[in-house]
Amino acid sequence: MTGYLVRRLLQAVVVMLIVSVIVFILLHALPGGLVRAQLGPKASTFQVHQLEVTEGLLKPLPVQYLIWLVNLLKGNLGFSYHYNQTVASLLTRYVPRTLLLAGISTVLAIGIAIPMGIWQGFRRNRVDDHVLSATMLILYAMPAYLLGIIGIIVLSLDFPLFPSTATNYGAGFGTDVAVLILPIGTLMLGNITYYSRYMRSSVIDNLLEDYVRTARAVGNAPRRVLLNHVLRNSMSSTMTMIGLTLPYVLSGALIIEELFNFPGVGLLFWNATQTRDYPVLLGVVLIVTLAVVVGSLIADLGYALLDPRVRYVRS
């Protein structure tokens, strides 16, 4: 287990390093350069040169990268001229809200999709399975914001149960539950479509395995086989899949936050695209990627705990 853990950690570090290189290259591919982005098109040549010198932009690119990387490791992600504060302080304010939004909706989605997938796998090709599958296919085909707008139309305009914006969210989870329901619900529905489809086919695959036949042959009831044997085997592969969908969850959050005006890291990112606030854009990309890498690390460790075979094969 320790060997596996170390290998997996090293891999995560390598991935983050490559991401930092990609982000750095993007930073230097900006039209007109970083300096123009900060000073605007009207800046004089002298001002441009001055900032280039102070920001160290005339040094060779690999040197610049190393300086940038060292700053990054110190927690210095740059400075937002639009918000007039450091990117790091912006992120510490916005990131937890998005993690809350994405986290709750993922946990709820898992809690609903896994029993649903098991049910569908068990009742495969019957009417209830077909109805659920069709519903999931249609939901899957909807852009996240269409799902959200339908939620708003039904639950906020037709039946005014929940507010349609989360603009004022920020006080805390306990006080703003009503505000969170529609954004979380939308993001959750999107996730359920992924997870339940996967869980269903995983359960069906497992039900065809020899061990199921053996377990049935020695006299176990179907329900018992399903819950004791199939569930565990299907769960472990679904865990990996959930780890792999984290980028989708956060991408969904970007849309949902913009739709509901939820002040999370997605909205921060979107606003930064409008004001061309490059340090914020790049800081956000780095931090959401870090969230994904850490998340999939946790999912993989969960997989290794659930399924001892992984530990032996990979380490």
Partner 1 sequence: MSALDPQLSGGLAVPGADSVVTLPAVQPGGGADSRLPARRVRLIRSAAWQNRLAVVGLAILVLLTLFCFVGPLIYHTDQVSANLALENLAPSAAHPLGTSAQGRDELGRLMLGGQSTLEVGFAVAIVATLFGMVWGAIAGYVGGFVDAVMMRVVDAVLAIPFLFFIVLLAEILRPNLIVIVISITAVSWLSTARLVRGEVLSLRTREYVAASKSFGARHWYVIFRHLTPNVLGVVAVNATLKMADAILAYAGMAFLGLSIPPPATSWGDMLTNGINQYYNGYWWQLWPAAVAIVLIVLSVNLVGDGLHDMVERRLERH
Between CA 163 and CA 21 the distance in angstroms is 42
146 in contact with partner 1 (CB under 8 A): yes
Alpha-carbon separation of residue 185 from 53, 140, 171 (angstroms): 49, 14, 20
Is residue 285 close enough to count as binding partner 1 by CB under 8 A? yes
Q: Quick check: 248 binds partner 1 (CB under 8 A)?
A: yes
227 counts as binding partner 1 under rule CB under 8 A: no
DSSP string, 138-191: HHHTS-HHHHHHHHHIIIIIIS--S-S--TT--S-TTTTHHHHHHHHHHHHHHH
Could you say which residues in the range 228-247 bind partner 1, by CB under 8 A?
A: 246-247
Using CB under 8 A as the binding rule, whether residue 103 contacts partner 1 is answered as: no
Burial 41-51 (b: 16+ CB within 10 A, else e): eebeeeebeeb
* SS3 (DSSP) at 245: coil
* Among the residue ranges 62-70, 71-79, 136-144, 176-184, the one whose residues contact partner 1 (CB under 8 A): 136-144
Q: Does 57 bind partner 1 (CB under 8 A)?
A: no
144 counts as binding partner 1 under rule CB under 8 A: yes
* 296 interacts with partner 1 by CB under 8 A: yes
Question: Cα separation of 190 and 167, whole Å?
Answer: 22
- Cβ distance to partner 1 smaller for residue 226 or 242: 242
Q: Which stretch binds partner 1 (CB under 8 A): 68-76, 132-140, 169-177, 207-215?
A: 132-140
The answer to whether residue 31 forms part of the interface with partner 1 (CB under 8 A) is yes
With vertex at residue 283, the alpha carbon angle to CA 281 and CA 287, rounded to the nearest 5 degrees, is 120
| Beta carbon of residue 118, minimum distance to partner 1 (angstroms, whole number) | 21
* 166 versus 215: smaller Cβ distance to partner 1: 166
Binding mask 153-182 toward partner 1 (x if CB under 8 A, else -) reads x-----------------------------
Cβ contacts of 282-285, under 8 Å, gap ≥ 24: 282/23, 282/26, 282/27, 282/77, 282/78, 283/77, 283/78, 283/87, 283/88, 283/90, 283/91, 284/91, 285/23
Nearest to 187 by CA among 103, 299, 264, 291: 103
CB of 224 to partner 1, least distance (A): 30
- Span interacting with partner 1, options 40-48, 108-116, 142-150, 177-185, rule CB under 8 A: 142-150
Q: By CB under 8 A, name the binding residues for partner 1.
A: 11, 14-16, 18-19, 22, 26, 29-31, 137-138, 140-146, 149, 153, 246-248, 250-252, 254-255, 258-259, 269-270, 273-274, 276, 281-282, 284-285, 288-289, 292-293, 296
